[in-house]
């Protein structure tokens, strides 16, 4: 029996050491990874809503693929909103943000933050040639077409219609949120002035 217990004990101790080391590595890299994600998101928010100097997460109702909503402010004055969404694409979850201007009531930009779409196909959603197609779109439901897009349509990425439709549907969710909670009810007016310190995200 002792010939079995000794190797088993040694194996158990080795396993504990390996687990402890893996846990240490995970914990030491978690914060830098999260910080990097936060920095990328803040940089992207500046791109989709450049009129704002700060972006403050607000307690907005979340439904569908909406993950978070940020109010963009400049010198304390709201200038628009950034909606973060996570729809399901062809290869998995797509994390993206959509900027909406408060004064013009138009889409000011869309950026994909993270994805697992097919390289050379759906992955082209991160390219300027695609995300610029949403710039300046009015706040009405957008359709997806393969050729010759109209005023309220988005030209799909070649051979990546599923990805294009997933992103466009997410943008439509952001539009629907704005229409329901800002344009029609004005329910979010002044929320940024009532926020508690430390729950926002600065774009500086």
Tell me the per-residue pLDDT of 30-87, one tens digit each, with 9 for 90 and over: 576 667 777 888 999 999 999 999 999 998 888 899 999 999 999 999 999 999 999 9
- Please check whether residue 89 is in contact with residue 122, taking contact to mean a CB–CB distance below 8 angstroms: yes
From its phi and psi, is residue 58 left (phi > 0), alpha (psi between -120 and 50) or beta?
Answer: beta
Identify the band that residue 184 occupies on the pLDDT scale cut at 50, 70 and 90.
confident
The DSSP output letter for 148 is S
Mean residue pLDDT of the chain comes to 86
Q: Report the C-alpha gap between 73 and 203 in whole angstroms.
A: 10
Percent pLDDT > 90 in the chain is 66
From its phi and psi, is residue 201 left (phi > 0), alpha (psi between -120 and 50) or beta?
Answer: beta
Identify the band that residue 192 occupies on the pLDDT scale cut at 50, 70 and 90.
very low
- Please check whether residue 72 is in contact with residue 82, taking contact to mean a CB–CB distance below 8 angstroms: yes
The residue-averaged pLDDT of 154-161 equals 96
DSSP letters along 60-116, please?
Answer: ----TTEEEEEEEEETTEEEEEEEEE--B-SSSB-EEEEEEETTT-BEEEEEEEE--
Q: Report the C-alpha gap between 159 and 102 in whole angstroms.
A: 35
Residue 96 vs residues 41, 78, 88, 176: alpha-carbon distances, Å: 9, 21, 11, 16
What is the pLDDT, as a whole number, of residue 12? 72
pLDDT, tens digit (0-9, with 9 covering 90-100), for 91-130 = 999 999 999 999 999 999 999 999 999 999 999 999 999 9
């Amino acid at each position: 029996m002792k010939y079995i217990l000794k190797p088993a004990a040694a194996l158990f101790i080795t396993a504990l050491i390996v687990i402890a080391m893996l846990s240490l590595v995970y914990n030491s890299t978690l914060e830098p990874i999260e910080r990097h994600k936060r920095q990328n998101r803040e940089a992207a928010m500046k791109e989709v809503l450049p009129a704002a100097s700060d972006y403050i997460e607000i307690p907005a109702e979340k439904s569908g693929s909406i993950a978070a909503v940020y109010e963009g402010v400049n010198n304390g004055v709201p200038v628009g909103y950034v909606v973060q969404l996570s729809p399901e694409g062809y290869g998995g979850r797509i994390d993206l943000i959509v900027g909406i201007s408060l004064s013009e009531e138009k889409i000011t930009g869309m950026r994909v933050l993270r994805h697992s779409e097919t390289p050379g196909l759906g992955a082209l959603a991160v390219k300027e040639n695609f995300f610029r197609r949403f710039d300046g779109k009015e706040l009405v439901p957008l359709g997806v077409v393969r050729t010759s897009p109209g005023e309220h349509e988005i030209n799909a990425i070649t051979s990546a219609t599923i990805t294009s439709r997933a992103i466009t549907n997410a943008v439509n969710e952001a539009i629907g949120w704005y229409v329901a909670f800002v344009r029609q009810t004005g329910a979010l007016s002044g929320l940024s002035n009532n926020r508690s310190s430390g729950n926002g995200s600065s774009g500086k």
